[in-house]
Each structure stands twice: as C-alpha cells, then as structure tokens.
Amino acid sequence: MGRRLGFALGALFALAFLAVAYVTAGLFLAHRQIRNPEPELPPADAILAFDPTSDLPVSLSWLNTASQTMPRSAVLEPSLDPTPKAPYTMGHTAFVLEWPDGRILLIDAGMDRDAARSFGKPLEFLAGAEPISPLGSVAEKLGASLSRVQAIAFTHEHADHTQGVIALCSLRTKPVRLIQNRLQLEESNYTTREAKKQIAEAPCLEREIAEGGPLFAVRGFPGIAFFAAAGHTPGSQVFVAHVRGSAGVRTYLFTGDVVNQIDGVRANIPKPRLYSMVMVPEAPGRLDALRRLLAELERDHGAALLVSHDQLSLEASGVRGE
C-alpha cells in the first residue's frame, strides 16, 4: 500500500512538474514573440497630416457588443493608479466610419452574445467583475447598413475583437476587404490563435496587405491611415481617422488594447503586472512608447483617443454610441 501511494504521489508530482514546465516554456516563447516586433513608429506630424480637399469620412459611431463592470485594478497597475476606486466598465466595441456615398469601414467586430458570455465568465473569478451583459453582435446592430460595409480592419487579433466577423460574414453575399499590415498577417503567439482561425474561416473576407509604412494609407478610404504598433500582440495596429463634421475636421485615434482605460495614456499607467506577464504576455517598453505617443497626440495636438474597452470614456467622447 505504501509503495503504491508513493508511486502515485511521485507520478502526480512528475505530472505537475511537466505542466508547470510546459506553461513556463509557453510563456517564455510568447514573451519572445511579442518583444521581437518593433516596427518604426511614425512621427506625430505625419499621423496628423491629411488632405482637407479629399473625400473624408463624415460619420463616426461605435457599437457596443457587450458590457462588464469591474474594478480598475483589473486593467491598470493598482500601485500606480491615483484613483483606484473610480468606476470602470469594460465595453467590447466596433467602430463604424461612413463616407458621403454611404460606404462603411469597420474597425473591430466585437463578439456575439454567446461568445460574450464565455468571455465574461472567467473575469468574474479572475478580476472580481460583475456578470457580463451581452448586447448583440455587430451584424445585429448594423441591420440594413451591413450591406454597405466594404472593408474591415482589426486593431489586433484577439477573439473579443474578431469573433463578430463570423455573424457578419454569414449575412454577406459580397466580399469584404480585410485591411492588415504584414506583421498582423505573419506574426502570432498563443493569444492570437483563436482570432486567426476565426479570420481564416470567415468566408467573406478578402485580405489586403498594406506595404511600405511606417504610416499606411487605406485604399478607397481617404482620411484613414494606420501604423503597425505591436506591444499588445505582434500584429497590433493603431488607426487614425480624420472625420469631417459640422464644426470642421476632427482627428481620432483607435488605440485598440494599447491601454484598456484612458488614464493608462493620460497618466502613463501600465496594465497590471500579472496581466502583462502571465495572462496576455506584452512588451512593456513598447507599450510605454505607444502610450507616450498617444498622450502627445491628445495633449499637444487635440486628437481624440478612442479606447476600445473603456466604455465610460467612449460615452464621454461625444462620438455617437449604441
């Protein structure tokens, strides 16, 4: 009996050791994969430049596919946050840009209701979040306007930003251009696998890879540009839109998950260490450079920052939301 027990305990110890070694090796590889890409960042004046005579977008709105309230400590390093008790609600948004002739470019696709429930449940345990509120897919919210979507781009390849493309493609008969930089096409780590699979299996998408840089124009959509960011995922990209409204042209930057709460930029607060080291391996130095660039664009040049997951700052941005 004693020998059997000792053998069983030894086997359990060996399995536990192998599991820890496997996870450790996976994290080490993921950190190598995220720290390697450091594409050149464009200067602020290049990001802000646009042709005022061109056919600029005339409408910008955001669609929220899910909403979940949680402590700020889930998204900002608590030891550096001066207001850790302030409210925070994580949204899962897609942005809709429209031109005078009605054509639409989407930035991100959010999730459908079932995917949102699956995404939100672990955060109740891991982050002390309230239950998630699924709000409907992008395809549902666009309704008849879905037929006018000509292109889509993803700030990065995580499933909470891409899963909604499945419902979108299921209702499309015409192709939708997928705008990417080469890093997003070619680089990955374990956190991007599910999203890459969703994109590869979405039948309506036709890839269009931007070449050149560091600032890429988007063919057929004047007033839109983007740059390879990396930092959060190897293929993360930040978009800029110059939108013509009744008061003139306003510049917006779509930050993706460079930060998850706007004070991450304004006070240069990184995400929690456990998040960036274990949950979603990130490149801290690269994200610091991106936060500083975004802060300069907002503080010194008046650009508006649209943080994908910061529902409260989006509601206060003046951009129409649903």
pLDDT in tens, 278-319: 899 999 999 999 999 999 999 999 999 999 999 999 999 999
Does the pLDDT value for residue 202 go beyond 90?
Answer: yes
Fold of 36-321: Metallo-beta-lactamase; Chain A (3.60.15)
Whether the bond into 214 is cis, omega within 30 of 0? yes
For the chain, percent helix, then strand, then coil, each to nearest 5? 40, 25, 35
What burial class does residue 201 get, using C-beta atoms within 10 Å of its C-beta: 0-12 exposed, 13-18 middle, 19+ buried?
Answer: exposed
What pLDDT, on a 0 to 100 scale, did the predictor assign at position 15? 43
- CA dihedral (10, 14, 16, 17) positive or negative: positive
What pLDDT, on a 0 to 100 scale, did the predictor assign at position 258? 98
Q: How large is the average pLDDT for residues 83-110?
A: 97
Does the pLDDT value for residue 169 go beyond 60?
Answer: yes
Does the pLDDT value for residue 17 go beyond 50?
Answer: no
The whole model's pTM is what? 0.91
- Dump the DSSP string for 231-275: SSSTT-EEEEEEEEETTEEEEEEEEETS-SSTHHHHTT-PPPHHI
Does the pLDDT value for residue 54 go beyond 80?
Answer: yes
